[in-house]
Structure 1
Amino acid sequence: MEKRIKWGVLGYAKIAREQVIPAIVRASNSEFYAIASRDAEKAKQCQEKFGCSKVYKSYDELLDDPEIQAIYIPLPNSLHKEWTIKAAQKGKHILCEKPIALNTEEALEMIKVCEQNNVKLMEAFMYRYTDRTRKVKELLDSGIIGDVKYINSSFRFLLSRENDVRMAPELGGGSLYDVGCYPINFVGMVTGSSPVSMSGECVLQNRVDVLFSAVLKYENGIIAVINSGFNAFTRVFSEIVGTKGVMEIPDTFFGNAGTITITTAEGRKEIEVQESDRYQLEVEDFADAVLNNRQPLFSLEETVRNMKIIDQLLDRR
């Protein structure tokens, strides 16, 4: 029987209960072992629904459990650093929601503590585990659209829920942190480098950006435009323009089936994309990295690159 990593989850946030905990349950090399929640009723609901072995009233109690090997952190952005460091100091491997921290300084401190305690740390960019992302990379590598010159990537939706933590500045709210980090990462994946200059504009509401657009320029002449927002209808779409053609990627960051469209001088071609269980694949990759002492698919180098760009854009608000 395949070895399984025992997971503990800090908090019963929506992303945890709807996506990641079910993914841990489905994963072939993982066991959903423990939940910690200050809300006893929520913890009870979680145990009844997913059948975890242990329920804890505090995060510290969960981290003290020697059975737990890996921690998933779905807490508000402002708490990522504190609980990643505490988990690392207890010898736990950590899968932390994006953005990994509020700034590069925090991220580097988290990475250092994890290295000192010999534990794995990965930022939870689940879209990197989809068939859609794999095919985008394959198509780029094939040279079908030539040399990339322009990238446009958007991730926005209408945030209508009242008292959402994403609208709280003290908790690390804002669209750039929440969804803008995806287009930034996508552009980084395509270019494989950091921009040499950038500029950004945003619309603020209660000290939180509800709309953010930025232009990034790269040393090799590529220009990228990224857009994020909470204040208008959903738009999740990217295009990559090259010297020989254009690639259009609807639902860029989702795991649903669909198509990627390639337009060249020869005409338009639709590339089929298969549905992907992106959260399960993410959990299985991280658990396998722990079991086999290797690096997971998504690197900390990319995490730091992302964070540096976010820092610079927020400084330019």
Structure 2
Amino acid sequence: MKKFTGSEVRWGVLGVGNVCELKSAPAMNHIPHSKLVAVMRRDEAKVKDYAARHGIDKWYTSAQDLIHDPVVNAIYIATPPNAHLELTRMAAEAGKPVYVEKPMARNHAECLEMISVCEKHEVPLFVAYYRRALPHFVKIKQLMDEGEIGEIRTVHINLKQVLEPEIIAKLENNWRINPEIAGGGYFFDLASHQLDLLDFFFGKIIHASGFSSNQAQAYPAEDIVVGSFVFENGVLGTGNWCFSTSASAEIDEVIIDGAKGQIRFATFGKGEFTLIKDHEAPINYQVDLPKHIQQPLIQHIVGELLGHDQCPSTGESGARANWVMDQLVKSNV
């Protein structure tokens, strides 16, 4: 990779939608040697409004114009997944590091193209799987690595959500359930976080298979997925995702079973988890989450670009989540 030559990471953001209001972009101004200097959105009124509210001098309605702004030396792609490959290609050709939202792309093949173009132009590629840097998930990994629940046996994901009326009412404006834009439905949007987090905990998934279906027929994408997977270290896993369940069945839980205990947590909840060790009372951990949820990961990115840190979420690791999802939805029933 080419060495990043600047002493400050000056971010340009493509697609300043909801994720950039609190979760990600504002954090760039709270990290030493990092600054958000330019934003882009095709809608001129909306991008001007965002720039004014967040105190940003430069705004664009053209991705190409922002990418080629000489002041900008790193690109954050915060658009829906269908634009990730093309925008990554444009940024890489301009020689600028890329930080791209999750899921990394609509499918694994697009992820591989993104990795290839970044390697060709020798620019780093990072993916916004920010849970790898959140303190309670880092703590969970530490406890497992230290053997607190013994050798890991299995992991089980159970995520079920109600099909809210507003989802159907706003169907045309919800890209997350349009496979042409998102690659799939809420499974691609939410399970990607879970599968990437498990990759962070246990390493690469080497086998995966499953079934998917559109049971409720409320939108074009799958609304239920079940599957199983095997990690390179021998841990076995299962997943059960349903986005058209009853209110009484709603759940967000991951259970990790070891030879000496168990860890339970919600992927999308507060910074909480429970450690249960054999013959001991359960221990409930509570960790405060950062105001800007992506800040810890972005701080790793800035540190890596400036030569004193390493980001745990890369194009290589992000692509693996897409590969697993592709395998799990391959058999549609």
TM-score, normalising length: structure 1: 0.90
The letter of the residue matching 2:223 is V
Shift of 1:34: 0.6
Work out the CA distance in 2 between the residues paired with 1:15 and 1:275. Answer: 16
Work out the CA distance in 1 between the residues paired with 2:158 and 2:130. Answer: 17
Aligned partner of 2:190 among 179, 204, 209: 179
| Residue number in structure 2 paired with 1:267 | 281
Correspondence list, 1:29-48, <5 A = 29-48=33-52
| Residue number in structure 2 paired with 1:248 | 264
Work out the CA distance in 2 between the residues paired with 1:119 and 1:220. Answer: 30
| Residue number in structure 2 paired with 1:211 | 224
> Compared with structure 1, are the counterparts of its residues 88 and 221 closer, same or farther at alpha carbon in structure 2 (3 Å cutoff)?
closer
The letter of the residue matching 1:271 is Y
Aligned partner of 1:191 among 175, 195, 202: 202
Does the alignment pair 1:22 with 2:26?
Answer: yes
> Compared with structure 1, are the counterparts of its residues 110 and 47 closer, same or farther at alpha carbon in structure 2 (3 Å cutoff)?
same
| Residue number in structure 1 paired with 2:3 | none
Moved more, 229-238 or 163-172: 229-238
RMSD (CA atoms): 2.3
| Residue number in structure 1 paired with 2:77 | 73
The letter of the residue matching 1:310 is M
Work out the CA distance in 2 between the residues paired with 1:291 and 1:139. Answer: 30
**Which SS does the other structure have where 1:133 is aligned?**
helix
Correspondence list, 1:215-230, <5 A = 215-218=228-231, 222-230=235-243
**Which SS does the other structure have where 2:282 is aligned?**
strand
Matched residue pairs, number?
A: 314
Work out the CA distance in 1 between the residues paired with 2:308 and 2:114. Answer: 19
1:171-222 deviation per Cα after TM superposition (whole angstroms, max 9, x unaligned): 1241221011122122323332323342233335433122323222457653
**Which SS does the other structure have where 1:283 is aligned?**
helix
- Alpha carbons 2:203, 2:232 under 8 Å: kept: no
Does the alignment pair 1:289 with 2:293?
Answer: no
Moved more, 4-13 or 19-28: 19-28
Correspondence list, 1:94-243, <5 A = 94-155=98-159, 157-158=161-162, 160-161=166-167, 162=170, 163-172=173-182, 173-203=184-214, 205=217, 206-218=219-231, 222-232=235-245, 235-243=251-259
> Compared with structure 1, are the counterparts of its residues 220 and 56 closer, same or farther at alpha carbon in structure 2 (3 Å cutoff)?
closer
Shift of 1:127: 0.9
The letter of the residue matching 2:229 is L
> Compared with structure 1, are the counterparts of its residues 25 and 221 closer, same or farther at alpha carbon in structure 2 (3 Å cutoff)?
closer
> Compared with structure 1, are the counterparts of its residues 96 and 228 closer, same or farther at alpha carbon in structure 2 (3 Å cutoff)?
farther
Work out the CA distance in 2 between the residues paired with 1:80 and 1:287. Answer: 21
Shift of 1:8: 0.7
> Compared with structure 1, are the counterparts of its residues 293 and 78 closer, same or farther at alpha carbon in structure 2 (3 Å cutoff)?
farther
Task: Report sequence identity in percent.
Answer: 28
1:129-181 deviation per Cα after TM superposition (whole angstroms, max 9, x unaligned): 11111111111012121121221124554553412111222212412210111
**Which SS does the other structure have where 1:241 is aligned?**
strand
1:74-114 deviation per Cα after TM superposition (whole angstroms, max 9, x unaligned): 11111111111111111111110111112222111111111
- Alpha carbons 1:245, 1:265 under 8 Å: kept: no
Work out the CA distance in 2 between the residues paired with 1:30 and 1:156. Answer: 38
> Compared with structure 1, are the counterparts of its residues 105 and 143 closer, same or farther at alpha carbon in structure 2 (3 Å cutoff)?
same
Q: Extract unaligned runs of 5+ from structure 1.
A: none
The letter of the residue matching 1:30 is S
- Alpha carbons 2:155, 2:256 under 8 Å: kept: yes
The letter of the residue matching 2:307 is N
Work out the CA distance in 2 between the residues paired with 1:64 and 1:230. Answer: 41
